[in-house]
Amino acid sequence: MAIHWCGTGLSAIPGLRRLIEKGYETVVWNRTIEKAKKALGDITDNIHAFDKHSIEKKLKPGDIIVSMLPGDWHVPLAELAISKKANFVSSSYIAPEMKKLDGKAKAAGVTLVNEIGLDPGIDHLMAHKLVEEYRNSSLNTAENDLSFVSYCGGIPKISNDFKYKFSWSPLGVLKALKSPSKSIRDYKEFEVDRPWNAISSYDAPLEQPESFEVYPNRDSLPFIKQYHFDPNWKIKEFVRGTLRLNGWSKAWQNVFEEIEMLSGPTGETRLQEMSDQFWRDNSYEEGEPDRVVLCVGLKAQKENITQWHKTYVMDAWGDKESTAMARLVSFPLSYSIEAILLDKIPPGVHAASDNLILITEWLEKISKIAQNFEIVDHNR
């Protein structure tokens, strides 16, 4: 069974190299062959120009297509995989069109895994682990009020005036700032139309405690079910959000004000101009370390007295081998590929695994590729 890895962007290389170096039959597909050869030519010559029809000719039952391409390629490649009784993996959120493939995937006996990078990905694994641990705790009772938070951010290891740096096109970050979010705050659905309207402070329980600015991201509500929260649990707070350095909102205030005014084709043109300018002024220098901070916590309180409270904390930064972001996106992806090859994930469309055996195994591996990784028990 072969792995057909499509896309060799910055977040793909460490996990891809890991699979090749472990001896898995791996076919690399990239739009620019020379770029792929520069990153991987020392360990493989099985590199080809990306073309869907060429992949189709080589694809065999049981193979795996990995899409590290722009999101509009995921569903077409997943459909190709199903037609050839092959499997599919990506790190992206499950789009509605991907979810609709569940029945076809099960009928074909193939597995389509998504949301298995960093965020989404590692955050899901941590959430599942915490929820199950609390569920099995003697302190689990319907009388408790639960607060769940999950904050992740790629931030500069060495701060700058802009309080942020870009490792790829800033356009995606700018467009995300125009997206609304849904979460739960004080037992009620909390919806905001712009992230900067919901910025708050978060004290991360790192080895050296540090505070960050955080805000809700996307729609958190479907993840209550995905993380297997008991329907009888009272949820006081539930939020999945983005983490930024302190001072970020002040440094970006002019950006927020301008984005708020943009609309239509003219607005899109201006967004691209802003993206180009930010890339020139605030992109990472070659060899400059990035940093990733992820905190996932679950707290149970009864009459405002904490009964149970644990937080996964991860703090990682780039080294001479790779960026932190690239490691933490592509390594979990490679773990899921191995699990599919070993028939450890059933047919159908899935997000990051909720299998506790796999989660425990993967989190143990992830703890070794992040400089700091621990579970903080706040009640000790």
Q: Which residues are catalytic?
A: 119
Strands (E), the chain: 3-6, 26-30, 47-49, 64-67, 87-90, 111-113, 145-156, 181-185, 188-192, 200-204, 210-216, 234-244, 290-302, 305-317, 348-350, 372-377
Beta strands at 64-67 and 234-244: parallel, antiparallel or unpaired? unpaired
Residue type, 160: N
- The conformational region for residue 291 under phi > 0 = left, psi -120 to 50 = alpha, else beta, is beta
Interior/surface letters 275-300, b for 16+ CB within 10 angstroms, e for the rest: beebeeebebeeeeebbbbbbbbbbb
**Alpha-carbon span 325 to 10, nearest angstrom:** 9
23 secondary structure, DSSP code:
T
| DSSP labels, 290-321 | EEEEEEEEEEEEETTEEEEEEEEEEEEE--SS
153 secondary structure, DSSP code:
E
89 vs 44, 333, 357, CA distance in Å?
21, 7, 20
**Alpha-carbon span 204 to 151, nearest angstrom:** 9
Residues with Cβ within 8 Å of 94's Cβ and at least 6 positions away in sequence, in order, are: 114, 115, 349, 351
> What is the number of other CB atoms lying within 10 angstroms of the CB of residue 348?
17
**Alpha-carbon span 232 to 285, nearest angstrom:** 50
Residues with Cβ within 8 Å of 344's Cβ and at least 6 positions away in sequence, in order, are: 355, 358
Residues with Cβ within 8 Å of 257's Cβ and at least 6 positions away in sequence, in order, are: none
Q: Which of 349, 360, 357, 296 is nearest to 93 (CA)?
A: 349
Question: Is the separation of the CB atoms in 63 and 83 below 8 Å?
Answer: no
Q: Which of 295, 310, 292 is nearest to 369 (CA)?
A: 292
